[in-house]
Amino acid sequence: MRVADLMQRELVTVGPELPLHELQELLLRERVSGVPVVEGGKVVGVVSRSDVVRQLEVARSQFASIGAFYLEPFDVETEGEDQRMQVPEAVAARFERLRVRDAMARAVIFLPPGASLTEAARLMVERRVHRLLVLEGGRLAGLVSALDLVGLVASGRLVERSGGA
């Protein structure tokens, strides 16, 4: 089997200026974990749910560190409590300003539709990614995900070769 036999052809794509909170809603609504980022008809990146979570964690870590630094001179039971409540608000405010371009992976891994599924699986493992974009004639033609490969194995449509153990 080839990548073309398994790839998803109807794709949800986003632009780099989409706010991350809107991306989160889109991923949930479409029941996908990641999407290609397209600008001017060209693929400029890939963004996934884990990229969004990573951005949230970076913001939380930054504001928690800053908050802890500024909390030291305060009495924890009085003014310190007010300061602590500001950290989640600051994280939420920063998250509202973030765009897909701030979280997306710019190093996109492409395959041609004629590539083997073995090659696709090998690339996913080597690059530690869950999806590969498929380009045909320089244009985005589809996407193959790790879940697509697992589904193929689970359905019994992928037959293992017999051989020595």
In the structure, what pLDDT confidence band is assigned to residue 69 with cuts at 50, 70 and 90?
low
Q: pTM of this prediction? A: 0.74
What is the pLDDT of the chain when averaged over all its residues? 82
Q: Regarding the domain with residue range 3-49+101-155, which homologous superfamily does it belong to in the CATH classification?
A: CBS-domain (3.10.580.10)
In this structure, of 12-16, 91-95, 112-116, 147-151, the range with the lowest mean pLDDT score is 91-95
Structure confidence at residue 90 (pLDDT): 60
| Interval 120-143 mean pLDDT | 93
Domain range annotation of the chain:
3-49+101-155, 53-97
In the structure, what pLDDT confidence band is assigned to residue 66 with cuts at 50, 70 and 90?
low
pLDDT in tens, 86-122: 656 665 666 678 899 999 999 889 999 999 999 999 9
Residue type, 119: E
In the structure, what pLDDT confidence band is assigned to residue 140 with cuts at 50, 70 and 90?
very high
In the structure, what pLDDT confidence band is assigned to residue 19 with cuts at 50, 70 and 90?
very high
Residue 164 has pLDDT above 60, yes or no: no
Question: What values do phi and psi take at 48, rounded to 5?
Answer: -130, 170
